[in-house]
Amino acid sequence: MLYDALAKALADNPCALTTDSCQLSGPELLAAASELADRLTSLGVQRLGLLMDNEPAWAVADLAALKAKRVLVPIPTFFSRGQQMHLIGDAGLDAVLAPVALPMASKTIETGQGVLSLLSVEGVKPLPEGTAKITYTSGTTGTPKGVCLSEANMLAVASSLVAATQDLGVERHLCVLPLAVLLENLGGLYVPWLAGASVTLLPMASLGMTGASGLDAGKMLATLGQYQPHSLILVPGLLPVLLAGKVQGLADSYRFIALGGGKSAQGVLAQAAQLGLPVFEGYGLSEAASVVALNSPGAQRLGTVGKVLPHVEVKLSDSGEVLVRGNSFLGYLGESEQQSEWLATGDLGHLSEDGFLTIQGRSKDTIVTAMGRNVAPEWLEAELGTISGIKQAFVYGDEEQGIHALVVTERSDLDAIKAQLNAALPDYAHLQSLMATNEPFSAERQEVTANGRLRRQVLAKRLQGGPMSFFERLKTETREAQQYLLSAPAILACQQGDVTLPRYLAFLNNAFHHVKHTVPLMMACGTRLGDDKEWLRAAIAEYIEEEYGHHEWILDDIASAGGDKEQARASKPNFETEMMVSYAYDSVNRGNPVSLFGMVWVLEGTSVNLATPMADVIRAKLGLPKAACRYLYSHGSLDLEHIDFFESLMNRIDNPADQAAIIHMANRMYRLYGDMFRSLPMEA
């Protein structure tokens, strides 16, 4: 279906793909895809992860998966390593194509398009029938879900977009967004190819983009000037770069610039129109296979996201929520819930009589003022974005606290900014306060999504209490000490796939000798707390119940890995482990007992970041059963659940002496725990 349509169009395309070093015709691209498809089929790959920058291999692998009827799962390169490992496990990938081998690969194969890492998988989540691609939602809250899409889903969107832009003479599209973003995958590869156009793929760094939010505007403009694309797909944060280029008088060849991924300020769009930039705002969501509505040259209305495309229907619920029918996704990965006929988008909107859709904000994010007026934060954020010097904005509030904002800016005249904004707003939407930071909202800190959409719950939590919370202080003031632990040779080697059984058994032996003291240390801490800390004693009781017996899990791991559990039980700890445990007892018994939570932070925080990916590597490299890594796997997931609980406890610690004791213990414990890892044998 989708592959057949693409193959038919590419067969006559003399220049389907352009890079900074080569050109590929459609037949050449199809031949490379066919070769990789045959390889995937012969290896029995079922779910293929794709972890690559914007490069020809990405496009080849995408086509190959379609041809071979294999499920493709794009893995964003701007995800942290931990996020990437979570996605790989959650999606049940049995292979990942990347520039280099993954550490936990059971086997690696050089394909000519990159290194194919074959992975051992167990207990994979079921897929809806017909799944061709799983795209992970950039959802604004919570853990991203795998959205399962069919070829028909993607072809319907691509065909509508081709029809909407067919009269514009677009011959060259340049991919500015990562191809792992569904909007660019469909709109930046499939649409140009179906229309007979050429696609330019360049590494994100050559466009001046690093991570999910780093941007060198000058470099981007220079690259756009060099390649002179006819079409682009942008998120709102990139549009000011093009406006700057226009103001500077830089030459361009733009015929169609699609804008999506968030609400744009109408003043910015009006400025683009005045400068002659052909910017067309649209709207979509992953669960509808991307684009639902789009402005186009023949049907454009400023302030709307355009007319609803012909492959879907849109209506509004009684509460004003946008509902979509006609191209809904197959379902979420691992969930069997039947999809309803009308997809609830969670967005509030207005639909004009002639079919133009306006998005007014997220229904769940709407601020209800004390006077009962509804205010969409996106509205105020877009208005703030029109003010000089404001790079990003987050608006929040409720009927009790009013409306407030956090902006990313170098400006210090916040009162002037607030006054300028309020002058343009009705009184019920006025800001009560404005705070500023010069640190951009970051995808690495989960503050924004891949498309730049705000993760409101994360940002709200960051702002709770005004000044930096004690939990944030604890992380900040122990970060340097943490690097001593993370730079231990045994940890670095494991991350690179260098693991030996003697080293793993030595780690488990040391872990047994400190984990068996967790409950006794908690008990000692609880007995020394004063009456004013009864709430903390109750929390310790919960920890004790949760942690009891975990040292026996480690002994079982030793046995499952081929070691002697009784010999380990009877052994003595090495010097480094003994010093770590002794220091903890001394601090609790002779110093401030609350300091123990500094040790808790070190152990749980380390588990969240390292335990699960290291267990994957150890199992793959040593060929061990899952039962040999129960301690690591359990603590990777358990401690992830504990962190929110731990954060809430730490933010109740308001005594400066207690806070200082916890930070001091954490810094010392990072050093001592790092020494324990440095004691592990490194010989091959």
Q: Are residues 245 and 227 in the same domain?
A: yes
Q: Quick check: 638 pLDDT over 60?
A: no
Q: Are residues 371 and 336 in the same domain?
A: no
Q: What is the pLDDT of residues 54-72, one digit of tens each?
A: 999 999 999 999 999 999 9
Domain count, the chain: 4
Q: Are residues 401 and 535 in the same domain?
A: no
> Which uninterrupted H or E stretch holds 115?
strand 115-118
Q: For residue 605, count CB atoms less than 10 angstroms from its CB and return exposed for 0-12, middle for 13-18, buried for 19 or more.
A: buried
Beta-carbon contacts of residue 620 (< 8 Å; ≥ 6 apart): 103, 104, 105, 106, 119, 120
Partners of 115 in the beta sheet? 98, 110
Q: Is residue 160 part of a domain?
A: no
Q: What is the mean pLDDT of residues 107-135?
A: 94
Last residue of a domain, one of 338, 360, 382: 360
Beta-carbon contacts of residue 613 (< 8 Å; ≥ 6 apart): 81, 82, 85, 104, 495
Distance between first and last Cα of the chain: 51
| 161 to 10, 256, 291, 310, 355: CA distances (angstroms) | 17, 12, 8, 10, 17
- Overall pTM surpassing 0.85 (yes/no): no
Determine contact, residues 395/368, Cβ cutoff 8 Å. Answer: no
Q: What is the pLDDT of residues 351-399, one digit of tens each?
A: 999 999 998 877 777 786 655 566 788 889 988 988 998 989 999 887 6
Angle at 457 between CA 455 and CA 459, to 5 degrees: 70
What DSSP string runs through 263-324?
---HHHHHHHHHTT--EEEEEEEGGGTEEEEE-BTTB--TTS--EEPTT-EEEE-TT-EEEE
Amino acid symbol at 475: K
Q: What is the pLDDT of residues 554-595, one digit of tens each?
A: 999 999 999 999 999 999 999 999 999 999 999 999 999 999
Four-residue CA torsion sign, 309, 157, 278, 212: positive
| 399 to 189, 404, 419, 536, 631: CA distances (angstroms) | 46, 12, 21, 32, 46
- Residue 143: its pLDDT value, please? 53
Determine contact, residues 400/368, Cβ cutoff 8 Å. Answer: no
The two three-digit tokens of residue 571, written as one number: 């052994």
Determine contact, residues 295/310, Cβ cutoff 8 Å. Answer: no
Q: What is the pLDDT of residues 464-487, one digit of tens each?
A: 645 567 887 888 788 778 888 888
- Residue 72: its pLDDT value, please? 99
Percentage of the residues of the chain whose pLDDT score is greater than 70:
93
Read off the CATH number of the domain in which 125 is found. Answer: 3.40.50.980
Q: Is residue 191 part of a domain?
A: no
Q: Is residue 182 part of a domain?
A: no
Radius of gyration of the chain measured on its C-alpha atoms:
27
Contacts made by residues 540-544, CB under 8 angstroms, sequence distance 24+: 542/645, 543/600, 544/519
Domain extent, residue 380, equals 366-466
Q: What is the mean pLDDT of residues 419-429?
A: 83
Read off the CATH number of the domain in which 451 is found. Answer: 3.30.300.30
